[in-house]
Structures are given as structure tokens and as C-alpha cells.
Amino acid sequence: MSTKPSLRRRTMQIAIIAVTLSVLSTRPVHAMHIMEGFLPWQWALFWWLATLPFWMWGVRRLVFLMRERPETRMMLGVAAAFAFVLSALKLPSVTGSSSHPTGTGLGAILFGPAVMSVIGSLVLFFQALLLAHGGLTTLGANAFGMAVVGPFVAWGIWRLLRRRSLWLAVFLAAALANFSTYVVTSAQLALAYPDAAGGFIGAFMKFGAIFAVTQIPLAVSEGILTVLLFNALQSNAAAELRSLGALENVA
């Protein structure tokens, strides 16, 4: 009689896929969604400082999980590998930037936004160092959009809709986490480079319109993929999901 694959085996499979796709998607430093050195130093510093409190909160939450709930480590690996895989797939976009999935919605559903502020930032950090994607000076700005705002949006949508429709809650959490990341990126670029005629609003509309061409289909695709992965976890790791509270009060 066949048995279902263990969560450990599935995690290893995801990790192998993550490494493979990431190597294949290696590009020059413009691969970050705000590239290395593109922001003026004042704005780069501002976004580092804005993100720092969320990192501190997330580290405390991670330390608690590691100490009090070590059984969550495998699921943390799944969330990190999923974010690593998707965010490594870059598409050229606005000058000095790129479009890509984020993969942070799943982790926000499972662990909340604090944990994903650290995991998402570590994903960006390792991509910058190991995959030549650049983005060390702009790590604060990139992390604020992808690892802070995106997970907060995902977590809010999940909490709001999970009692009505599980699959819709997962889909919208992942898709809107992705899309909100690029709303923030558009705002960050507009603040740094306001339009000569329209100022911040004019620049924000231009950046947002360009991002929308690639980001809307990416957000929809990420939502669908996250639903499929969540369904697989529900089938093969239901006990772990229940221990995290991800299956409580759901439709």
C-alpha cells in the first residue's frame, strides 16, 4: 500500500526546485525590484530605518517559535523555499527595477506578518549575495514592500475571508500581497524621482501603470500557485497546519 510523501520529503523537493530555478534566473544587479544604488542615499537609509522595527519584532517571534515550538521548523522551511523560488524569477520592468512574484502570502497565512518580515528579508539578502541580484543598499526599501507590507496585506485578507471561503482567502491573500508590494515600490520610486510636471502623483501613476503590465498577471498566477500548494499541504500536512492555527475557523 502506497503512503503519502512526508512533509520532510516535500520540503526537500521544494528546496531543490528553489536552488535550480534561482541559478537559472541569475541576472546582473538590475534583477532586484529596486536595483543596487538606484535610490538616493537618503531614501535608502530611510527605508532601512522604517523596516528595522519589523525585523526586531520578527526576530523575537522567530526565537519564540524555535524555542517553544520546534516542530514548526519544517513548515518554516516550506514558506522560505516558496518565497525564494518565486521571488527569484525576475522580469525586466521600470528602469532600475524588475517585476517578480513574491511568495510571501503563504508564510503570512501560516506564521503571520512578523515572521515573514524576517524570512522575506533573508530571501532578498541571500539573492543579493549569492545570485548577483544586487540590492544591498536598497534592501531596506525592497524588504519594506515585499517582506513587510505584502505579508501584512496577506494576513489581513486571510483573517477577513477565511471563514467564508478557504480557497478564495488563500488566493486573494497571495495575489494582493504580490500586488501591494509593487504599489509600495511605485510609491518608493515616485518619492525618490518625482515627475517634473506631476510631482509625486504623476510619477506614482506612471510607475504603477508600467508595473501593472507584468504584475497583474504575476499576482493572479501567484495566487493560483499558492492555492495549489496550500491544498497539497492540507492533504499531506494537515496536522502541522492545525498546530499553526491555519485550519481554525475556516470555511
In a domain, 24, yes or no: no
In a domain, 13, yes or no: no
Q: Please report, for the chain, how many H helices and E strands are present, in that order.
A: 10, 2
Asked if 243 and 73 count as a contact pair (C-beta separation under 8 A), the reply is no
Q: How far apart are CA 199 and CA 121, in angstroms?
A: 30
In a domain, 40, yes or no: yes
Number of domains in the chain: 1
In a domain, 158, yes or no: yes
In a domain, 119, yes or no: yes
Q: What nine digits make up the cell of 143? A: 524588504
Per-residue pLDDT tens over the stretch 79-133: 999 999 888 776 665 555 667 789 999 999 999 999 999 999 999 998 888 765 5
State the residue range of the domain holding 214.
29-244
In a domain, 49, yes or no: yes
- Residues of the chain scoring pLDDT < 70: 1-33, 90-98, 131-134, 249-251
In a domain, 3, yes or no: no
In a domain, 157, yes or no: yes
Specify the pLDDT at position 149: 97
Q: Which residues contact 77 (CB under 8 A, 6 or more apart)?
A: 11, 15
- pTM score, whole prediction: 0.83
Q: How many CA atoms lie within 13 A of 234 on its CB side?
A: 16
Q: How far apart are CA 138 and CA 144, in angstroms?
A: 10
Strand-pairing partners, residue 98, are 92
Q: Residue 226 belongs to a domain with what CATH number? A: 1.10.1760.20
Residue 202's CB is within 10 A of a number of other CB atoms, namely 14
Q: How far apart are CA 111 and CA 203, in angstroms?
A: 35
Specify the pLDDT at position 242: 85
